[in-house]
Structure 1
Amino acid sequence: MLMALQILEESGEVLTVAALGVGKLRNCPGSAHKGPPNVDKLKRILHGAISQKLEDGRLPLQQEGEEWHLWKDDPPTTPCYKYRTRFGVGLAPVRLVSFPCSGNTWTRYLLEATTGIFTGSVYNDKSLVNGGFLGEKENRRGLTIVQKTHAHSVVQSSLDNMGKRYEGIAPKLPAVLLIRNPAKTIISYWKFKKTKSHVKQLNEEKFDGDGFRFFVPYSIPRWESLILDRLLWSEAPVFVLHYEHLLENTIPTLRNVLAFLGVPVDEGRLACVSTHLSGSFKRQGNKDFDPYTDDEKKLMAVAAFRVNRTLQLLGYQPLPTYT
């Protein structure tokens, strides 16, 4: 069953008609094409927020069971030493959607540190579990503040299977959509693929050769389609989180994410995050270098243009200036 989404410029010109959903099609103002209710309705859905059930002004936590001591290496007399991370109770399901190596693990660390609640995942990365992300192994609903997914971007299959893409994006669930510069993301993803590690570095010479040359045009359309699928097929609120904004303005950006998630701010935790920003899985020693051909850069520019236009037409901030 299909539902069309028409993206119109101010002039009323139809730029794109993407499909998937249900319902009868009707005429849209300013267009000879047929489509669903206007873009304003979609914007109201996308720019909504999560409603959580609070107890005494806080999200309910499990008082027994597994916990993680966040900053156990701090002196015991300092204010951040006391904080722990636990599982929640009855939390709303929210996807944390990103292309691989877009800063997902660091974002999860920041969310766990500021909320005191584990984040989850549709995967089970044992290295993350051993590093304190205990929600990585927990699939029961309501226990974690967000649940990580890369959807179809990590599936070794054609992008032509729209049904699988639609199912993988879980459009009825709200989401935090994490977006990072594709040039940086693909470099980080290649490092992860080759080292099987979230923190190890890779010699620049490993970016030469047919392997990386194949990997780049394979990854670019998956970066783009993951973002566009999440935006255009969503039937629930979506918070667009630019990795570069989180990196440059961590605390203000986190406040905005918490407001979207319906999480009351714990100022003590937020103060401690401001002095413990890096986390344990942030890859250290990254160098700026350019392994891309001119043709590969053109492909990324075209993909970023489509993403940027869609973001702006749907009322979101544009992509940062990528350098």
Structure 2
Amino acid sequence: MAFGINKPFRTQNVLLILMIVVSFIIGWHVRVGLLSEPLGRRNSQSSDELHGYTTGSGGKTIGINGERKTPPKQEYVSSFNKTWLTWDKIDSPGLYRACVRRREQKPSTGGTIVMHGVSNKMRIETCIDSCIQSVFTYAALSHGDECYCTNVSSTSEFLSYVDSSLCDLKCAGDKLHHCGGKTFMSVYRTSVPDARCSSINFGSPGSLPLVALASYPRSGNTWTRELIEKATGLYTGSIYWRAERNLPISNKVFLGGNADYKNNNIICVKTHRHDRDSFEAAIMLIRNPLKAIVAEAFRRQIFESHRSPVDAIKFFKSEGWENFVYEQLKNWNSMNMHWIQSKRRLLPVVYEELESDTRRVLTEIVAFLNRTVEHERITCATQEHPSSLATFTSLGNHGRQTRVYLTADPFTPEMHQKIVDSVKLVNATLFQLHKRSLPIVYLKNTDVF
């Protein structure tokens, strides 16, 4: 027996099938569009928007349905900022320096400046490559589409840095990064050597005394070595040279780190040990223990244990954090006391003072090392390796964005009290023996660690 199909039933089925097919086609095209769209565009929403927040007048956050909501507070801040371009290689073609003001008529840098063109396809890499080809040490971008090249001098306005957020115009050919502003310039150091301080050599074997550059870890030893090498023209070394000589940093940045420091042909030697009797003199770097201990914790979590920043911050809320603080505070205290009480020539250097007044403190270091103070070399050194306070950024190791900061105080009141007691002891000893004092900020809480 044949089953007949009535006409109305068939018409409804056809319409239903057509609707299903059309829905499938539309859904497929949407999916393809999402998969093919660049990540930069797909992820262009802010963190607040992704959590269902918009910003109302006065910066207040408003939920999707109109209710007032508070976005979750970030537990850490990375120094990475997409307003400038960074590289993850030590031998990068250029390194971001800072944002600087430009004059109304034309940019001025205290040296010859060359306009290398205006382009609606301007990118940071394009400008840097152009300046390298023309053998200039600095590249500067402005207005989003202008590229300038220059060399700097001791009177250069490139020393007058402003906050990087003021360079707020997107590059014409790269919307992810900024190429200066209407009245500001994004400055990059090219890979062209600066003749004022690029010559660095070993001394003759046996010609230099053994001088330690001692510090608790994460107290500016690496940055200080860079400054000293540029300012004196002599390589620095490390007591860890056997372990460090195969690292990229020793092959590209610290060539003195490849050699046995006991050859007495380097200007000073990095150490984090209690080994004052091995040296004839010492420079002792002292940093705020609140900052140094947190920085050391991040170093171990991120670089030694290879954890992400999100995972690394969990350590500050773990049971191991308290033991770590007291252990590292003991190390900070004993390291400083050991070197401060040395009976040999000693120059105490406060890291925060080196940051805030680099040229003055670096001049004092060069004089302590019994080297001729060449002011042009010292200025060059401060331009080549500016402090984070000078540039309003924290560039990490050699221009790479590597640092992470906590936004909440990880120390308990009991921890703070022990830190204060330790600081007071070190300060009293420092003043008694060397007539110097630590900054009062060491006794105060800070906003970001």
TM-score tier after normalising by the smaller chain length: 0.5 to 0.7
The counterpart of 2:321, out of the listed 197, 206, 212, is 212
Alignment of 1:299-310 (within 5 A): 299-310=418-429
Quote the residue 1:26 is aligned against.
none
Matched, 1:86 2:201: yes
Quote the residue 2:355 is aligned against.
247
Pair 285,210 (structure 1): closer, same or farther in 2 beyond 3 Å: closer
Structure label with greater radius of gyration: 2
Q: Distance in 1 between the 2:433 and 2:92 partners? A: 40
Residues 31-73 of structure 1 show CA distances to partners (whole Å, capped at 9, x for unaligned) of: xxxxxxxxxxxxxxxxxxxxxxxxxxxxxxxxxxxxxx99985
Q: Distance in 2 between the 1:117 and 1:190 partners? A: 32
Pair 228,281 (structure 1): closer, same or farther in 2 beyond 3 Å: farther
The counterpart of 2:381, out of the listed 247, 270, 273, is 273
**Contact persistence 2:213–2:285 (CA under 8 A):** yes
**Counterpart code for 1:81:** D
1:195 is displaced (CA, Å) by 2.1
Quote the residue 1:30 is aligned against.
none
**Contact persistence 1:240–1:316 (CA under 8 A):** no
Q: Which range is displaced more, 125-134 or 178-187?
A: 125-134
Q: Which range is displaced more, 212-221 or 261-270?
A: 261-270
Pair 313,307 (structure 1): closer, same or farther in 2 beyond 3 Å: same
Q: Distance in 2 between the 1:149 and 1:228 partners? A: 15
**Counterpart code for 1:120:** G
Quote the residue 2:372 is aligned against.
264
Pair 172,96 (structure 1): closer, same or farther in 2 beyond 3 Å: closer
Q: Distance in 2 between the 1:252 and 1:227 partners? A: 23
**Contact persistence 1:171–1:236 (CA under 8 A):** no
**Contact persistence 1:172–1:235 (CA under 8 A):** no
Pair 299,171 (structure 1): closer, same or farther in 2 beyond 3 Å: farther
**Contact persistence 1:87–1:144 (CA under 8 A):** yes
Residues 264-296 of structure 1 show CA distances to partners (whole Å, capped at 9, x for unaligned) of: 122222222232234717854545542111111
1:319 is displaced (CA, Å) by 0.4
Q: Which range is displaced more, 111-120 or 240-249?
A: 111-120
**Contact persistence 2:210–2:279 (CA under 8 A):** no
**Counterpart code for 1:217:** Y
**Contact persistence 1:98–1:178 (CA under 8 A):** yes
**Contact persistence 2:251–2:258 (CA under 8 A):** no
1:129 is displaced (CA, Å) by 0.8
Quote the residue 1:133 is aligned against.
254
Structure 2 length as normaliser, TM-score? 0.49
The counterpart of 2:227, out of the listed 97, 106, 110, is 110
The counterpart of 2:265, out of the listed 134, 139, 143, is 143
Quote the residue 2:436 is aligned against.
317
The counterpart of 2:213, out of the listed 59, 76, 96, is 96
**Contact persistence 1:119–1:147 (CA under 8 A):** yes
Quote the residue 1:297 is aligned against.
416
Name the % identity: 29
1:121 is displaced (CA, Å) by 0.5
**Contact persistence 1:94–1:173 (CA under 8 A):** yes
Match of 1:269, SS state, is: helix
Quote the residue 1:182 is aligned against.
289
The two structures, once aligned, show a CA RMSD in angstroms of 2.7
Q: Distance in 1 between the 2:347 and 2:91 partners? A: 26
**Counterpart code for 2:257:** E
Match of 2:419, SS state, is: helix
Q: Distance in 2 between the 1:118 and 1:145 partners? A: 6
Q: Which range is displaced more, 75-84 or 308-317?
A: 75-84
Pair 285,209 (structure 1): closer, same or farther in 2 beyond 3 Å: closer
Q: Distance in 1 between the 2:408 and 2:357 partners? A: 24
**Counterpart code for 2:412:** T
The counterpart of 1:228, out of the listed 337, 341, 345, is 337
Structure whose residues are more often strand by fraction:
2
Match of 2:299, SS state, is: helix
